[in-house]
């Protein structure tokens, strides 16, 4: 999410973000689990949910990039960019998922081209 305004206060930069409220239906069991986790992490329920959603979105982006890489649709470099992580972090994700790293001459050429295009 891009900041809508930036202001400075005693050498500290603050960002103001536009936010939007959403509603969803949750089972009593999920709500109780959220409340339990909120107590254990000493966070309010809304903050906990936002943190969990943020983590889940990051993980889903990595999952999708890993799948594209596994199918040979993108290089490691491109997949790491799609996932929003460093190349090293992406390769660690591949290893954790048991996906072999395949890197050939064509991949090198594509990565060099991507670097030039940035």
Summarised one tens digit per residue, pLDDT across range 65-118 is 999 999 999 989 899 999 999 999 999 999 999 998 887 788 778 778 878 887
What pLDDT is recorded for position 7?
Answer: 47
83-93 pLDDT per residue, tens: 999 999 999 99
Please give the mean pLDDT across all residues of the chain.
85
What pLDDT is recorded for position 24?
Answer: 85
Alpha-carbon span 93 to 63, nearest angstrom: 9
Counting Cα atoms < 13 Å in the Cβ hemisphere of 12 gives 3
pTM: 0.69
Alpha-carbon span 81 to 90, nearest angstrom: 9
Per DSSP, 99 falls in state P
Residues 6+ apart with CB under 8 A from 104: none
């Amino acid at each position: 999410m891009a900041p809508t305004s930036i202001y400075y206060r005693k050498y500290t930069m603050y960002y103001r973000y536009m936010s939007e409220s959403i509603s969803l239906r949750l089972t009593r069991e999920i709500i109780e689990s959220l409340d339990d986790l909120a107590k254990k992490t000493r966070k309010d329920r809304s903050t906990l949910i936002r943190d969990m959603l943020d983590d889940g979105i990051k993980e889903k982006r990595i999952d999708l990039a890993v799948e594209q890489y596994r199918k040979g649709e993108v290089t490691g470099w491109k997949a790491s960019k799609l996932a929003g992580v460093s190349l090293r972090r992406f390769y660690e994700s591949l290893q954790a998922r048991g996906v072999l790293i395949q890197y050939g001459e064509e991949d090198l050429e594509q990565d060099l081209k991507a670097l030039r295009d940035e």
